[in-house]
Chain A
Amino acid sequence: MAIATHGTASNYLQRAPSPSGLADVVELILDKGLVIDAYVRIAVIGIELITIDARIVIASVDTYLRFAEAVNRLDLTQTEAAGLAELRDGGGDGKAKGMVEGAKDALSGEGDRKKERAKRG
């Protein structure tokens, strides 16, 4: 029954033992888990105060223009290695950091790796 964090020499991705970000905990605790019939569940107040940083994709002209702008900003000479590395082993050094996510990524295993920011236009 031990819950040791699995650690190997080639640990590329660290498993986090518990949710630490608000979005994760909200998803886990407010959206999931046993619900008991309404008559015993007493009101939870304050949920509306919580903001979740998940971005929902909405197919709209605004979204399209944003994608167009992002594509036009790309410096393809910088990200060449990344683009060609699709579904096979990495190894190029053009590690591009997502522009949009940012704050949401805190929990990912990226802390273990050296991030190299791709040059931005």
Chain B
Amino acid sequence: MALQSPTAGGTDASAATALYLYGVTWADVARPQPGAGVHGESVEAVPYRELAGLTSAVESTKVPAKRRDLLRHAEVLGTALVHGTVLPLRFGVVFENGTTLVEDFLLPRYAELTQLLRKFEGRVELSVKAFFREEAILAEVVRANPRITRLREATRAASDASTYPLRVELGERVAAELQERTLRDRQALLDRLSRLAVDVQVDQQPIEHQVLGASFLVERERVALFDDAMNELAQEQAERMHFKYLGPLAPHSFVGLTAEAR
């Protein structure tokens, strides 16, 4: 294990380099990741007591949020998670150098960061999204609601001005039915999955046909159980929903620092 000093990477400290921070982990599980960082730079650990910041050199303090570098940021955290618990940072946190990283962040936040790392020890984030299949859910809505069935029959033949008010009413009623089904099915999915998790964060932003967008904090040893539950749901709901299932991730949705007291 090569824990590097703050000015690692052989770069001249006087050059206009800065230090990009991916996350914070325990120093004893921090591993360098050659060439894996933003702009292809190597990821090195900057240790402070039991903590280590995972960093790489960047040329400027302005880091463009390019697709490739966003993915690298995620991948660096994913690799770090294989070795141990990691607190993920949002994209784009840059320090002047290793000294400021320690003095401005790791040292003043030492107690809080170690506490957070302990809290997330052995736990990972799993991201779940469920979407209605449009044709299936619309067919369901048409069959379930007699008024919608009739409006559909009345407007099917002609989509001209004569049916405009009826089409608006039809669409409005369909939207209301979809909303009701979204809320009902979201709760049903949450009821099935939440009991396997330590914590859950539900995305409230309405996205068309998205039934559920949620992150679950799950003990590593229960991930297989969670997989089984997801497989059951995907199978049961195959006709009307499809799923996106992502993880294990560092606890992006669950980390937070208290506002600085000053």
Contact = CB atoms under 8 A, between A and B. Distances in A.
B82 A3 contact: yes
B90 A30 contact: yes
B29 to A, nearest CB: 9
Interface in B101-118: 104-105
A68 B235 contact: no
A46 B66 contact: yes
B82 A1 contact: yes
Residue of A25, A44, A72 with highest tally of chain B CB at under 10 A: A72
Contact of A19 (B74, B126, B148): B74
Interface residues of B, number: 96
Contact of A40 (B95, B207, B243, B249): B95
A90 B167 contact: no
Contacts of A17: 78, 246-248
Contact of A33 (B18, B133, B243, B252): B252
Nearest to A53: B207
Given A30-B90, A33-B252, A90-B238, A14 B245 contact: yes
A34 B21 CA distance: 11
Residue of A1, A28, A45, A82 with highest tally of chain B CB at under 10 A: A28
Contacts, number: 285
A3 B228 CA distance: 16
A86 to B, nearest CB: 6
A29 B91 contact: yes
A79 to B, nearest CB: 4
Interface in A36-55: 36-37, 39-47, 49-50, 54-55
B197 to A, nearest CB: 15
Contacts of B127: 24, 28
Residue of B88, B126, B141, B244 with highest tally of chain A CB at under 10 A: B244
Given A35-B257, A96-B133, 10 more contacts: A12-B235, A13-B234, A16-B244, A16-B246, A18-B249, A25-B67, A41-B92, A42-B92, A57-B206, A98-B133
Q: Which 10 A-B pairs have the closest CB atoms?
A: A64-B171, A44-B92, A96-B135, A46-B64, A13-B234, A68-B171, A67-B171, A82-B136, A32-B252, A33-B90
Interface of A: 1, 3, 6, 8, 10-20, 22, 24-26, 28-37, 39-47, 49-50, 54-57, 59, 61, 63-72, 74, 76, 79-90, 92, 94-101, 104-105, 107-110, 113, 118
